[in-house]
A and B are shown apart, each in its own frame.
Chain A
Amino acid sequence: SQKIEQNSEALNIQEGKTATLTCNYTNYSPAYLQWYRQDPGRGPVFLLLIRENEKEKRKERLKVTFDTTLKQSLFHITASQPADSATYLCALATGGGNKLTFGTGTQLKVEL
């Protein structure tokens, strides 16, 4: 069956450290993958998109990698801050690019 897996357990890290979140998928061949941030009681906000022919993408303190062999994307936040605390969702372009399928998200807590 098709699955998108993100760690359901919250990730707690100390301010200033690098946070790394994982998105694994099975039985999909996405042309691209996106990461979104969601704050409690709010809608998701787009952060980054990475295509299957790109290994890595960066935006300010954010970095995303995409390994189509491992079927995995890693999302890194460097020099993390308490304001980075949120739930992060990965989303795959599925159905021949006609649909965005979301993972359940990982909650990140950055502590002082």
Chain B
Amino acid sequence: DVKVTQSSRYLVKRTGEKVFLECVQDMDHENMFWYRQDPGLGLRLIYFSYDVKMKEKGDIPEGYSVSREKKERFSLILESASTNQTSMYLCASSSPPSLADTQYFGPGTRLTVL
């Protein structure tokens, strides 16, 4: 079974803090994704990566950055957390050729920024 794990299920941070969300997958997938999910807005793509050290902006990259130093690990960084970044963050992975192929999701991190 594909397993995607995320470093925390729940996280509470203060405005202005730097926040790291980590995601690890064990299926040797090239593609990895970060989404946020908000009521009424669905899943929105923040960033994705199709290879080590490669990253591409998704639909809502502002206020976020990512890092992919190893194939199995994809980190989402909030440089200076703000209250409007309170959300459920979901990591996913998939294998090529298409970035739109079946994605395997982690359990999510519910981040609250106070």
Contacts and interface: CB of A to CB of B under 8 A. Distances in A.
A in complex with B: yes
Interface of B: 4, 40-43, 45, 90, 92, 98-100, 102-108, 110
A57 to B, nearest CB: 13
The range of chain A's interface size is 20 to 34
Interface in A2-56: 8, 31-32, 34, 41-46, 49
B45 A105 contact: no
B99 A98 contact: yes
B100 A97 contact: yes
Interface string A69-112: 00000000000000000000100011101111011110000000
Contact of B100 (A41, A44, A100, A104): A100
Contacts of B4: 43
Contact of A93 (B40, B98, B107): B98
A105 B45 CA distance: 16
19 contacts: A8-B40, A42-B108, A43-B4, A43-B107, A44-B43, A45-B105, A89-B43, A94-B100, A95-B100, A97-B99, A98-B99, A98-B100, A99-B99, A100-B100, A102-B43, A104-B40, A104-B41, A104-B42, A105-B42
A56 B104 CA distance: 23
